[in-house]
Amino acid sequence: MAVRLVPFETDREELADGSVRISAHGELDLATASALAEALSDCDPDDHGRLVLDLADVPFIDATGLRVLIEARRRRVRAGGDLVIERPSRQVSRLLDVAGDRAGLRVARRRDEHRPARARA
């Protein structure tokens, strides 16, 4: 029986409002969680801004991946910033629903849903 490794990659994008978006691609599990943890920790820990994690291209997540998300949010909030999960895939959404409020994760179902509303003149 051959073991098939599924690639996992992340892309980083600086947003116009000063936030950073990390887009993840591939399955997020025991074998790949450390790659996401590294990408998230590479973001400046002293940055008090918002970190957006786009999980639209993550077809699978297990408890190890969930732990990485929870720890990244805790670190970001301690630094005075925030972490928002953006566009989670169907399977990721199901896991986040099961984890519920106890996980403390903010989720935006659509891109840019998490941005604050602009002041009206």
Residue 34 lies in a domain: yes
Residue 97 lies in a domain: yes
Residue 71 lies in a domain: yes
In this prediction, residue 115 carries a pLDDT of 53
Between CA 108 and CA 115, with CA 113 as vertex, the angle to 5 degrees is 110
Q: pLDDT band at residue 116, thresholds of 50, 70 and 90?
A: very low
Identity of the amino acid at 67: R
Residue 39 lies in a domain: yes
Residue 58, domain extent: 9-108
Residue 95 lies in a domain: yes
Residue 1 lies in a domain: no
Structure tokens, 46 = 């002293």
In the chain, the number of structural domains is 1
Helix (H, G, I), strand (E, B) or coil at 89: coil
Spatial distance between the Cα atoms of 10 and 65, rounded to a whole number of angstroms: 14
Instruction: Tell me the pLDDT tens digit for each residue of 37-48.
Output: 999 988 765 566
Position 6 pLDDT exceeds 90: no
Provide the CATH number for the domain around residue 56.
3.30.750.24
pTM: 0.83
Position 1 pLDDT exceeds 80: no
